[in-house]
Amino acid sequence: MSDETWSVGWGWICGAVLSLSFGAIWALNYCQFEWFARGWFDRPIRVLLVTAHPDDECMFFVPTVRALLSRKTASLRLVCLSTGNYDGLGSVRCRELIAACKLIGISSDRVHQPIDPPGAGSGSNSGSGGGDDRSGFIELPDGPREVWTADAVISILQPILTAHDITHIITFDSGGVSGHPNHIALHTAIQSLLSRHQTKQLTAYALATERNPIRKYTGPVDALITLIGCIATRWWWGGSNRSNGSDADGLNDQCVFATAWSDLLSVLHHRAMICHWSQYVWYRFLFVTFSRYTYLNTLNRIRPPQPQSTPALTQS
Ligand SMILES: [Zn+2]
């Protein structure tokens, strides 16, 4: 077989896989509420997306944000616990966050971010985003060596949860997507929050960290793999995605939200990242182009850690 024939053959194969992959994104987006989030929107829900740094929402959570905003019974707020001041650009990044959120559909009055730290002067950022809710908070320091305790995170979240009667929290999982300690600290804190408040009123989901680099960085193709897995689970093996749900509230343990084609065609993710201009370097351009988080989000329910069982005392 000639080299030219091989090239044409590989071209057809790659074209077919890409076509099927983008078809899979459409199918997952079309079925996402019926397959994965059927119980979510039966009643009004108030969701709080908890991120660590300005740009997390654009790098990782856009499919979830857009899915939630498309439902009339869901309202969405975002809290970002740091100004992203690791490089001294905190005030710039706060303004970038507001602009990016506005582009993806979260109005400024629904964005909670830190007030100016003491001694930083006035006017560098608008506390809770410039809306009518002025309950700002002191930022947690940005950086992989900074320790964010569960108490510190919860002390920021609790007033927001109470003031806005939040029903759902979405944040990172124990892998933090990128392994950043600030991301992981949020997951640990939410677990702690759930264990302290054993209430059915608060449900939490974590964005699944994809540890397979091939699946992590071939976003559209991973959508095809995910769709095949979902179909196999639902029909071929006689299972159902609802079968993993909690008996108490009927919600799935795992949800998948996929980006709408309209958002892909309008290059929404890149336009949102352009709002984060101070961070939009070449490797983030590649990440937004190829990572699975641009095309789909898999959310796993966060359960409070089970208490350690006390070993039974034995009589000697
Ligand atoms: Zn981050």
Domains and their CATH numbers in the chain: 20-295 (3.40.50.620)
Distance of CA 278 to the CA centre of its chain: 21
Tell me how far apart the alpha carbons of residues 85 and 272 are, in angstroms, rounded to a whole number: 20
Distance of CA 168 to the CA centre of its chain: 12
Q: Which residue has the tokens 């958002």?
A: 263
Q: Cα(20) to centroid of ligand 1, in Å? A: 31
Query: How many residues appear in the chain?
Result: 316
Tell me how far apart the alpha carbons of residues 30 and 263 are, in angstroms, rounded to a whole number: 14
Tell me how far apart the alpha carbons of residues 66 and 274 are, in angstroms, rounded to a whole number: 18
Task: Inform me whether the pLDDT recorded for 244 exceeds 60.
Answer: no
Q: Cα(10) to centroid of ligand 1, in Å? A: 38
For residue range 26-83, what is the model confidence (pLDDT) as tens digits? 999 998 888 887 778 888 899 999 999 999 999 999 999 999 999 988 999 999 999 9
- The pLDDT of residue 33 is 84
- The pLDDT of residue 90 is 87
- The pLDDT of residue 183 is 97
Q: Cα(227) to centroid of ligand 1, in Å? A: 28
Mean model confidence pLDDT for the chain = 85
Q: Which residue has the tokens 């100016």?
A: 116
Q: Cα(178) to centroid of ligand 1, in Å? A: 8
Tell me how far apart the alpha carbons of residues 217 and 99 are, in angstroms, rounded to a whole number: 27
Residue 38: which residues within 8 A CB-CB, separation 6 or more?
Answer: 242, 250, 252
Tokens for 179, please give them: 């392994």
CA distances from 287 to 62, 114, 184, 281 (A): 13, 27, 20, 10
Q: Cα(2) to centroid of ligand 1, in Å? A: 49
Residue 305 pLDDT class (50, 70, 90 cuts): confident
- The pLDDT of residue 121 is 43
Tell me how far apart the alpha carbons of residues 250 and 106 are, in angstroms, rounded to a whole number: 28
- Tell which residue, 16, 30, 17, 39, has the closest CA to residue 258: 30
Mean pLDDT of 275-299: 94
- The pLDDT of residue 308 is 65
Q: Cα(193) to centroid of ligand 1, in Å? A: 21
pLDDT > 70: percent of the chain: 84
Q: Cα(18) to centroid of ligand 1, in Å? A: 29
Residue 135 pLDDT class (50, 70, 90 cuts): low
Q: Cα(55) to centroid of ligand 1, in Å? A: 7
- Tell which residue, 145, 108, 87, has the closest CA to residue 278: 87
Q: Which residues line ion ligand 1, judged by CB < 5 Å?
A: 52-53, 56
What percent of the chain is helix, strand and coil (3-state, nearest 5)? 50, 10, 40
160 neighbors 73 (Cβ within 8 angstroms): no
The more confident residue out of 38 and 150 is: 150
- The pLDDT of residue 131 is 42
Tell me how far apart the alpha carbons of residues 64 and 262 are, in angstroms, rounded to a whole number: 15
Ranking 124-128, 164-168, 181-185, 267-271 by mean pLDDT, the lowest is 124-128
